Every structure is written in C-alpha cells, then in structure tokens.
Amino acid sequence: QVQLQESGPGLVKPSETLSLTCTVSGGSVSSGSYYWSWIRQPPGKGLEWIGYIYYSGSTNYNPSLKSRVTISVDTSKNQFSLKLSSVTAADTAVYYCARVTQDSSGYYMGMDVWGQGTTVTVSS
C-alpha cells in the first residue's frame, strides 16, 4: 500500500521560498509507471494543480505558476520536492502531493494516491 507524506515549514514569510517534501513509502519514486504531482487548495477554495515530475527528472508546471515553481526528485531518499519562490499571502494553502498512475498502454489513470496534505501559511 503506497503512502505519501508531505513535510515542511507551516509558516513562510512573504517574498521567501516555500519548500515542501513528499516522502513515498510502500513503493518507489523511481518506477516508470508514475508521475509525482503537487496540488494546492487555498482556504475555502478549490484544487489547483501545481506541477509534476517523472522519475527521470522530466517536469511540467501550471503556466500560471511556472516562473516560481521547481519540482525535483531524490530517488536515493524516495522523495520528491516542491519549491515555490517569492511567495505572497495568495500562496497560503493546503499543499498535497499525489501520484498519477500510467498503465502499461500509456493511459493515465488519475491521481490515485494522495498525501494527507500540509498547511502552509504565508505571513510575516
């Protein structure tokens, strides 16, 4: 049973960089069958996809956040990470990591495993 767990500071100052890590247990971040994603949810609002990374290091980001986002993977620690620079109060949200499964035929099977989420508040 694969599990994901987000970790990182719960409070970040404006203009600084938000850094979060997602630890994968019960499975391998190096598997070629998965894309590892970050999603966030501001208080009382909907879900926003941030971006994903493949084990090879290939990434893709939400165009609205692309200039500030970096997602990386550390296969030795079985983790992937999110960095969001120049944060403002608008970046206050619950941040989730999730897994997108791709089957043997190359079809995507949705975000089938999610972490519990971690709350990040941007405030001085």
Partner 1 sequence: QSALTQPASVSGSPGQSITISCTGTSSDVGGYNYVSWYQQHPGKAPKLMIYDVSKRPSGVSNRFSGSKSGNTASLTISGLQAEDEADYYCSSYTSSSTWVFGGGTKLTVL
Per CB under 8 A, residues contacting partner 1 are 37, 39, 46-49, 51-52, 60-64, 96, 100, 107-112, 114-117
Minimal distance in Å, beta carbon 53 to partner 1?
Answer: 13
Residue 81 forms beta bridges with which residues? 21, 72
Minimal distance, residue 74 CB to partner 1, in Å: 23
User: How many other C-beta atoms lie within 10 A of the C-beta of residue 117?
Assistant: 17
For residue 72, the tally of other CB atoms under 10 A from its CB is 13
Strand 93-102 to 118-122 pairing: antiparallel
Question: How far apart are CB 32 and partner 1 at their closest, in Å?
Answer: 17
* C-alpha pair distances (Å), 96 with each of 89, 99, 106: 18, 10, 24
Q: Residue 71, by phi and psi: left (phi above 0), alpha (psi -120 to 50) or beta?
A: beta
* Cβ proximity to partner 1, 105 vs 124, nearer residue: 105
Nearer to partner 1, 16 or 60 (CB): 60
Closest CB to partner 1 among residues 72, 108: 108
Judged by beta carbon, residue 29 or residue 111, the one nearer partner 1 is 111
